């Protein structure tokens, strides 16, 4: 996203794409790079797109100005390690921004959610994994031990089932010995995000509605046969 909250435009093959249209376009290019077998030029173009998605400036899967892994490995000057993040990382705190993105992808902003993974949450600095008035949730949050000093926890797990949705916060685990000596409790903390008064069933899902439609069609077919409107072949 741009600083003003508008969707960033990208040029691909001479055309401008934004938001969902851009995501759809680069997905097709990534598949082109992986599956193409009879056109080397098209395959290379798709593979270039995959590399861009991995580390390109403002890639929708990366969201930073650059990837500084090389610098962190080989250059001591920490000034070179900076990876400026896209404006989205600040804008996602605003409910209006989250609603705009959900609508762009055809989702209801009152019931939909955006789930961001693989993004450390700096809990020790007061950061919350719940943003955008509860419509955006950051999971993962730093399971890796390397992130624990930065985050203060060992990441989050999102659980979404028929009774509702909740977020589980994990505490760092140093060793069995330390847990025994300090009598540390390994039970994670749970935050309830949404709780359904009525349990969801298979029939309430997209697949369930498709199954129900097929059942109704089969019933109609049987009824038509019983009425003699169609004959057994």
**DSSP H stretches of helix in the chain:** 19-35, 40-55, 69-74, 88-91, 95-104, 148-151, 176-181, 206-226
Residue 159 pairs with which residues in a beta bridge? 166
Residue-level pLDDT at 140: 75
Q: Residue range 114-123: average pLDDT?
A: 86
49 has pLDDT over 80: yes
Indicate if the alpha-carbon torsion angle 184, 188, 191, 197 is positive or negative: negative
Is residue 167 within 8 Å of residue 135, measured between CB atoms? Answer: no
192 has pLDDT over 90: no
Residue-level pLDDT at 6: 96
Residue-level pLDDT at 89: 92
What pLDDT digit, counting tens, does each position of 58-89 carry? 788 888 988 898 999 999 999 999 999 999 99
184 vs 112: which has the higher pLDDT: 112
Whole-number percent of the chain with pLDDT over 70: 95
The encoded tokens of residue 193 equal: 């995000």
Q: Residue range 41-46: average pLDDT?
A: 94
Distance between CA atoms of 127 and 210, rounded to whole angstroms? 41
Alpha carbon distances (Å) from 134 to 46, 50, 110, 129, 131 = 36, 32, 10, 9, 5
Residue-level pLDDT at 187: 64
Q: What is the pTM of this model?
A: 0.77
Q: Residue range 198-202: average pLDDT?
A: 89
Q: Which of these, 4, 6, 46, 8, lies nearest to 27 by C-alpha position?
A: 46
What pLDDT digit, counting tens, does each position of 92-114 carry? 999 999 999 999 999 999 989 99
Residue 33 pairs with which residues in a beta bridge? none
Indicate if the alpha-carbon torsion angle 172, 174, 175, 176 is positive or negative: negative
What pLDDT digit, counting tens, does each position of 133-166 carry? 999 999 876 677 777 777 878 888 899 888 889 9
52 vs 118: which has the higher pLDDT: 52
The encoded tokens of residue 22 equal: 């851009």
184 has pLDDT over 70: no
**101 exposed, middle or buried (CB, 10 Å; 0-12, 13-18, 19+)?**
buried
Average pLDDT of the chain is 88
């Amino acid at each position: 996203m741009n600083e003003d909250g508008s969707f960033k435009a990208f040029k691909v093959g001479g055309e401008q794409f934004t938001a969902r249209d851009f995501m759809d376009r680069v997905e097709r290019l990534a598949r082109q790079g992986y599956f193409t077998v009879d056109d080397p030029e098209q395959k290379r173009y798709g593979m270039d797109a995959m590399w861009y998605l991995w580390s390109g400036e403002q890639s929708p899967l990366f969201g930073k100005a650059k990837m500084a892994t090389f610098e962190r490995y080989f250059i001591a000057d920490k000034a070179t390690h900076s990876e400026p993040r896209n404006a989205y990382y600040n804008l996602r705190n605003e409910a209006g921004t989250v609603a705009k993105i959900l609508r762009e992808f055809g989702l209801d902003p009152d019931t939909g959610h955006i789930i961001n993974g693989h993004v450390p949450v700096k809990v020790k600095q007061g950061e919350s994994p719940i943003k955008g008035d509860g419509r955006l949730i950051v999971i993962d949050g730093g399971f890796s031990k390397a992130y624990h000093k930065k985050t203060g926890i060992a990441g989050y797990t999102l659980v979404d089932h028929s009774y509702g949705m909740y977020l589980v916060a994990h505490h760092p685990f140093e060793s069995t010995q330390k847990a025994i000596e300090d009598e540390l409790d390994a039970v994670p903390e749970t935050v309830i995000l949404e709780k359904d008064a009525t349990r969801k069933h298979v029939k309430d899902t997209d697949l369930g509605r498709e199954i129900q439609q097929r059942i109704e069609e089969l019933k109609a077919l049987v009824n038509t046969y019983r009425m003699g409107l169609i004959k057994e072949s």
